[in-house]
Amino acid sequence: MATLVGLLGELLMTAGVVLGLFVVYSLWWTNLLADRAADRESDRIRDRWEQAMDGDGKPGGLDTKDGIGFLHVPTMEDDQILVKKGTDPKVLDDGAAGYYTDPVEAALPTSGKDGNFSLAAHRDGHGAKFHGIHKIREGDPIVFESKDEWYVYKVFEILPETSKFNVGVLDPVPADSGRKKPGKFITLTTCTPMYTSEHRYIVWGELVRVDPVDERRTPPKEIKNS
């Protein structure tokens, strides 16, 4: 009997190790595939932007074919995150951040209007573009790069955990952010705790300025000095 119990224990331990290795491998593999997909699309976008430069060296209008631009969050130590339309798996699983179209439609910064530019991305697996979201602190910069302009935001509030059903955080004046009046906001959302989808981690920023894109696409100081 003791031998049988010992054998069963060894089998359970082996199964646990195998399962753990499978999880690690799965996360690594989905990250690799997602990064490759995002890099391909990013290259296409930047090639099109370069080709669209007119004779005066000025960029053209918003391009949404493969993505609308790139997110730069120095605190998360990610050089650039491709931003695309929608938050369904076919967008996020390819290593991009997606802006919400449902249940609350995001306000694109390129519109120039007040609203909430709300985004989602994976925190683990599939590129894990918001993996380091917990490193962000109040006062940190978040920069969105479009074809025409750099939109520089400053983080003003962080909500480490809220219900995944709390869609108010996506409102034009986001609930729980402390803001009561309309403004030009950005919201980053992802799952928490790590490796689960039980709750949501929220970061809010507010637009502080807009810089034009020059011929060399020189990034703002918030990115260069990071």
DSSP assignment of the chain equals: -HHHHHHHHHHHHHHHHHHHHHHHHHHHHHHHHHHHHHHHHHHHHHHHHHHT--TTS---S---SS-SEEEEEGGGTEEEEEEEE--SHHHHTTT-EEE--SSSPPPPGGG-SSEEEEEE--SSSTT-TTTTGGG--TT-EEEEE-SSEEEEEEEEEEEEEEETT-GGGGSSS-TTSS--S--EEEEEEEEESTT--SEEEEEEEEEEEEEE--TT-PPPHHHHT-
Arithmetic mean of pLDDT, 104-121 = 96
Q: How far apart are CA 165 and CA 54, in angstroms?
A: 45
Instruction: Please write the tens of the pLDDT for every residue from 19-73.
Output: 444 455 466 778 888 889 888 999 899 988 888 765 444 444 555 556 899 999 9
Q: How far apart are CA 47 and CA 45, in angstroms?
A: 5
Q: Which tops the pLDDT comparison, 205 or 38?
A: 205
Question: What is the pLDDT, as a whole number, of residue 186?
Answer: 98
Residues involved in catalysis: 191
Instruction: Please write the tens of the pLDDT for every residue from 154-203.
Output: 999 999 999 999 999 999 999 999 999 999 999 999 999 988 889 999 99
Q: How far apart are CA 72 and CA 57, in angstroms?
A: 24
Pairing of strands 141-145, 69-73: antiparallel
Residues above pLDDT 90, as percent of the chain: 64
Tokens for 125?
Answer: 């697996």
Alpha carbon 41 to its chain centroid, in Å, reads: 15
Q: CB within 8 A of 147, min separation 6: which ones?
A: 49, 52, 59, 60, 61, 62, 63, 69, 213
CATH architecture of the domain 46-224 equals: Beta Barrel (2.40)
Strand partners, 151: 144, 210
Q: Which tops the pLDDT comparison, 225 or 132?
A: 132
* Cα maximum dimension of the chain: 85
The predicted model scores a pTM of 0.85
Q: Check if the beta carbon of residue 78 is closer than 8 Å to that of residue 129.
A: yes
Domain ranges of the chain: 46-224
Q: How far apart are CA 20 and CA 179, in angstroms?
A: 43
